[in-house]
Amino acid sequence: MTTDAELKQLIESNARAIRAMLDARAEERQEFRERIDHLQEAMVQLVSLQDGVNRMLASLDEDRPTVLSKADIH
């Protein structure tokens, strides 16, 4: 038969295990948020780079035909 002291130890042990699992999940969520933030920053940089390339091609189109001009013809 289980004594009150043993039940109390079991409950405390379970509470520590649950707390450890919750802490681990919180860390995982924080790491996930940091990865998402990093991906968003990378996407902003890619969009900026794409805009720059488009501006460069448009500028080149003023002097001589490029892929953009040829695409507009079709």
| pLDDT tens track for 36-59 | 999 999 999 999 999 999 888 888
Residue 12 host element (H or E): helix 4-63
Alpha-carbon span 38 to 27, nearest angstrom? 17
- What pLDDT, on a 0 to 100 scale, did the predictor assign at position 58? 80
Strands, DSSP E only, in the chain? none
* Residue 67 domain boundaries: 4-73
Any idea which residue has 């004594």 for tokens? 3
Q: What's the structural domain count of the chain?
A: 1
Alpha-carbon span 28 to 52, nearest angstrom? 36
Question: Is the sign of the CA dihedral 36, 41, 45, 48 positive or negative?
Answer: positive
Query: Has residue 66 got a pLDDT over 90?
Result: no
